[in-house]
Structures are given as C-alpha cells and as structure tokens.
Amino acid sequence: MSEGLYPGSGALAPDSACQYEPMGAVVTSSAPHQTPAETPVLRLRVAALGMAATTIRAVELVSADGSPLPAFTAGSHINLKLPGDLSRSYSLTNGPQTTDRYTIAVNRDAASRGGSAYIAETLKVGDVLVADAPHNTFPLVEDAELTAMFAGGIGITPMLAMIRRIEALGRPWKLFYAARNRASAAFVAELQALEAAQPGRVHFHFDDEAGKVMPLLKLAAGVPKAAHVYCCGPSRMIDTFKASAGWRPPDNVHVEHFAGTNAKPTTAFTVVLKRQGREFYVPAGESIMQVLEDNGIAVAHSCREGVCGTCETRVLEGECDHKDNVLSAREREANGLIMICCSGAKSERLVLDI
C-alpha cells in the first residue's frame, strides 16, 4: 500500500486526535516504555502538506540534515516543539517499514491553545521543527490472532499505522471507524480501497447518516475473546469500549486517551532527585513537574495531563499515587514508573531517577 503524505499521516486529540494538546495517549499494555528523556533530539523539515479531511492537515516530515531517522513501532507518537514554548504530541500514521519520513495528521481544534492552530494556519513547506524521537505508549501486539480496532474521529491516526504494519505482516484485522460525518473523517479513500481488496475488514459509521452513534457494545460483542482490541477516540467512546471489554483478558485490551483524568494528588510529600542530590517539598494538589520548574529544573513535557508519556520518570524509592492515563494496572503495581506532570506519592518521600 502506498505510504506517501496523503493518505499517510496521523495524530492524537483535543488538538487533533491521538495528538496531545494536551490530550494524549495511553495504553493498557504491559509492554516496556522507552523513557522519552533518553531519546535524541531531532530536526525535522516539512517536506509536504495536504488535507486529509475538512479540518485535518496532513504533514510529512523528513530529516533536516539527511541523517537517518530513528526507527519506530506502530502506535508511536512524536513530540514537536512549536513556537511559544509549546510542545505537542502527534501520532505517526505511516507504518514502521517506512524509514525516510514521519507523517502526522493534525485536526484544527476550535479550542486550540496554539498547537493545532499553528500547524493548520502557519506551518509551511520548508519549515524546520525540533522534535523528540518517537515514543510508544500504545504498542501493537504483532502476533495477535486477530486485531480489532475502534476509532473515533481523529482517533484513526494511530490505527492507520497499525493497519499498515499488520498488512505488512499478513495478519488479520478489523476496523470500526466512527465520525460525525464523511467530511470530517480522515483517510476514507485509503480505507475504502483496503475494504474493496478484502471485504469485511473496514466498518464505517457516520453519525449524521445513521442518525445515532456507533453501537460499539454490539460490535465489540462480536469480536472473538482471543483478539487484541484497541480504542482511540473521545472519552465517552473509550468509556463504552472499556465497559464492553470486561470479559476479555486485561492484556488484550488497549486504550489511548485524548485527555487526562483531571485528578490531582491529595497528599503532600518530599520528592528526592537522586542524581542531582536535591529534594523539594510538594504540597497537596500540586504536581512534581510544577515544583521542579518553579525551582529552575527543566523537565521534558507535552500534555501536562498524564496522557502522552513524555514526562515518564523512573521511581527508585517510595510509593506512587498514580493519576495518569498511560500506565497499565500491571505497571502501576510494579511502582517503577511515574508521570510527574500529574501523579504524586502515597509515601512521605519519593525518590526519582533525576
């Protein structure tokens, strides 16, 4: 299948969809995460721009100096540094077998705080952006008996990369894609071509044509228990998806969120930066990230809501009070990682690998 700019881009939510402004991505997966702070900084040139839907702009990025781009896996996103000290995360839509470019798709959000507005209205071919290397909080299980994906709106973006990877592997898959209307749905032509090549794999649902939202509970009930199921879309869709998946093995259920829970730690504690030999008091209701920034310590961040995984930090001692939408139940129980933009501590001291 072709993987050019159009149709080959992807992103995550409020500002796009599997783009984080700050909305984000999460995953109920036990797959190990690569700590974003350990990834290299990239300079990416805008090679092409196009429209994937009425409000969705597709962007193709290549290495500004011609050096090789870091490899990535299906479901990954990149954090772009934008003017105004903004950092926004967007899902990659091209399959990982494509190694010479990254493609994203950004929805022009009416409530944009700068990210999607800049990309939709100002970004032009030839511009150079700084970015972190790809990071994956929504990994694809490549040897699944069946992969079933439920996408809402721009939540299609990480799914497109997954489909491209599964197609390359020759594995079976199904997609259930919902949007308000056809004009707002991205990559429809490419998905229609895939459906024509092998009928029964792609199921579209447009609210205005159907007169109702997609019957997710009914559709999910028809997916075999052994399948790995994925969902990326609005919060109500994700809530319904989770309700439909209680009978499935937890490791077979994967979710990427657009937004955080808005929950905040309710206990004060002391955070210790082991490598720096410093410690700070974190009042109840405040984030570790904010306290560190207030004290002149720069930390990697993007969504500030616990959905993108950019601020993921290793925990050396103490008990975490997790408030993110990234870590799986198993990872939370292991107590080895924390999202410092939103999570806190249940213990009096929390020692971090900073």
Higher per-residue confidence, 116 vs 202: 202
Q: Detail the DSSP E strand segments found in 108-146.
A: 128-132
Q: How remote is the C-alpha of 341 from its chain's centroid?
A: 16
Query: In sequence order, what are the residues at sequence separation of 6 or more whose Cβ sits closer than 8 angstroms to the Cβ of residue 247?
Result: 225
Q: Pick from 173, 130, 136: which is nearest to 10 by CA?
A: 136
% of the chain beyond a pLDDT of 90: 68
Q: Say how many residues make up the chain.
A: 354
CA distance 228 to 79: 27
User: Tens digits of per-residue pLDDT, 147-187?
Assistant: 999 999 999 999 999 999 999 999 999 999 999 999 999 99
CA distance 5 to 164: 14
User: Tens digits of per-residue pLDDT, 46-78?
Assistant: 999 999 999 999 999 999 999 999 999 999 999
- What CA–CA distances, in Å, run from 289 to 54, 89, 219? 37, 18, 41
Identify the band that residue 16 occupies on the pLDDT scale cut at 50, 70 and 90: very low
C-alpha angle with apex 106: 101 to 108, nearest 5 degrees?
A: 155
What is the pTM assigned to this prediction? 0.76
Domains and CATH numbers, the chain: 19-132 (2.40.30.10), 147-256 (3.40.50.80), 269-352 (3.10.20.30)
Report the helix count and the strand count for the chain, using DSSP H and E. 8, 19
Residue 5 is predicted with a pLDDT of 42
Query: Would the CA dihedral through 108, 109, 110, 112 be positive or negative?
Result: negative
Report the amino acid identity of residue 124.
Answer: K
CA distance 311 to 293: 13
Dihedral of CA atoms 285, 290, 292, 295 in degrees, nearest 10, equals -110
Residue 313 is predicted with a pLDDT of 93
CA distance 147 to 71: 23
Identify the band that residue 324 occupies on the pLDDT scale cut at 50, 70 and 90: confident
CA distance 57 to 16: 9
Identify the band that residue 274 occupies on the pLDDT scale cut at 50, 70 and 90: very high
Residue 35 has pLDDT above 80, yes or no: no
What rounded mean pLDDT belongs to the chain? 86
Residue 129 has pLDDT above 50, yes or no: yes
Residue 3 has pLDDT above 80, yes or no: no
Higher per-residue confidence, 13 vs 112: 112
Residue 24 has pLDDT above 80, yes or no: no
CA distance 276 to 273: 5
Residue 332 is predicted with a pLDDT of 87
Query: In sequence order, what are the residues at sequence separation of 6 or more whose Cβ sits closer than 8 angstroms to the Cβ of residue 296?
Result: none
